[in-house]
Structure 1
Amino acid sequence: MTEPENRCRLVLIVPDIADADEQAKIVGDALKGGDVASVIVPQYGLNDGEFQKHAEKLVPIIQDSGAAALLAGDSRVVGRTKADGLHLTGPASEISEAIDKYADKLIVGGGNAADRHHALEIGEERPDYIFFGKLEGDIKPEAHSKNLALAEWWASMIEIPCIVMGGTDPASALAVAETGAEFVALRLAVFADAGRAPSVVAEVNALLDEKAPRFED
């Protein structure tokens, strides 16, 4: 019996697929593989209208699986598609504005915290979470060592949850979990071979069930 709430949980980052129906099917299949806390939907190169079409297909699928749908792009699309939140990739000032505007209505988190100073600036705005890494930062099998170090420091001091970008190897999720981070984000590790996405989600959950450290209540 899995109890993912007391260990690091999986966050999926939707892959860059031009066909909205294909993208939605691949994400929907992956979500059948096991526990996923939230799914981040980047805008990539889509214009706002195209991004809305993609989000309109993805948001209900994500929410029906029990995960939170977080859009990284045009904030107006969040309202139009009834997504759960807004993932921001800019500085603390951008997060501050979004929190002022949406704090009672949406999950607001993210940030581009490349060092401790910027992480603390973002933390002062009290986002729902901070993100270490870039949404397309999974360029090596392992998670970036700088992000792991930031997460370990953050998790030991700050109560705001953190999400850490993993690598292209699904096993990189465990290195993230070992920092004390609440969430690990995976993209290519899950979606590089779309047909295997559900089984990779299942494998990552099994790995975290077996080996991830448990949080104290």
Structure 2
Amino acid sequence: MADTEQPQLYLISPPDFDLSGFAETLGRVLDGAEVACVRLALASHDEGEIARAADTLRDVCHQRDVAIVIDNHILLAERHGLDGVHLTDGARSVRKARKQLGPDAIVGSYCGTSRHDGMTAGESGADYVSFGPVGASSLAAGETAEIEIFDWWSQMIELPVVAEGGMTPELIAQLRPVTDFFGIGTEIWAEDDPAAGLAALLSP
């Protein structure tokens, strides 16, 4: 990615939320910032709950021309008219998701700190890979994706890359030249005003 380009925003839902309240909050955040994609990342295993969230947040996003993907649920992505799926098992399910969802769907792959998984995901048909966490986060036990992996990726690989997990203003400043997307979630949702929290996080 050229240093002159600014990374796009990729918002990640909380793992648990009150649907009506979060839908309103998400709408306000989307109205206040230019967001490329939203990821529904519920921790729940209740398919009905996930389906209701998918329908509600799809409408919030699509009314604003923002894409929405869902963690791992290939069938729900297809059934509820979402734009694609974000896979959390590295490259293992990319081919399956691409085959089932077709060439136009978004298929993303979370690869932790593994360049090898990232390259394999790209070769298997992923539209983007994400590495993380870049800072203190519950995403991984102590291991973080260092700036070097993004620097290397941006120079060697054309596939877009997302930096996520434990974002701080300092990390965002360091990552600006070497990532395509900032994946931002729990960093802002606990704020009284998540839209203001997002603006503060992105402040130079």
For normalisation by structure 1, the TM-score amounts to 0.80
Task: Please give the residue correspondences for 1:162-201 in structure 2 after superposition, counting only pairs within 5 Å.
Answer: 162-178=161-177, 180-193=178-191, 195-201=192-198
SS in 1 for 2:130: strand
Higher normalized contact order (CA 8 Å, seq sep 6+, divided by chain length): 1
Question: 2:54 matched to 1:58?
Answer: no
Q: Unaligned 5+ residue runs, structure 2? A: none
How does 1:15-26 map onto structure 2 within 5 Å?
15-26=14-25
Alignment of 1:1-150 (within 5 A): 6-133=5-132, 138-139=137-138, 146-150=145-149
Q: How many residues align?
A: 198
Shift of 1:17: 3.0
Q: Which runs of 5+ in 1 are unaligned?
A: 208-217
1:139 Cα deviation from its structure 2 partner = 4.8
Question: What's the RMSD between the two structures over aligned residues?
Answer: 2.6
Report the Cα distance in structure 2 between the residues aligned to 1:130 and 1:168, rounded to whole angstroms.
17
Give the drift of 1:160.
0.5
Structure 1 Cα separation of the partners of residues 60 and 27 of structure 2? 6
SS of 1:152's equivalent in the other structure is helix
Normalised by the length of structure 2, the TM-score is: 0.85
Q: Distance in 2 between matches of 1:129 and 1:199?
A: 28
Summarize the Cα distance change of 1:21–1:171 in structure 2 as closer, same or farther, 3 Å threshold: farther
Tell me how far apart the structure 2 counterparts of residues 30 and 153 of structure 1 sit (CA, whole Å).
32
- Bigger mean CA deviation after superposition, 16-25 or 77-86: 16-25
Given that 2:7 and 2:179 are in contact with CA atoms closer than 8 Å, whether structure 1 keeps it comes out as: yes
Deviation at 1:171, TM superposition (A): 4.6
Q: Tell me if structure 2 keeps the 8 A contact 1:56–1:81.
A: yes
> Are 2:194 and 1:202 aligned?
no
Distance 2:185 2:17 in 1: 16
Please identify which structure carries the higher helix content.
Answer: 1
Give the drift of 1:145.
5.0
**Whole-Å separation in 2 of the counterparts to 1:36 and 1:110:** 19
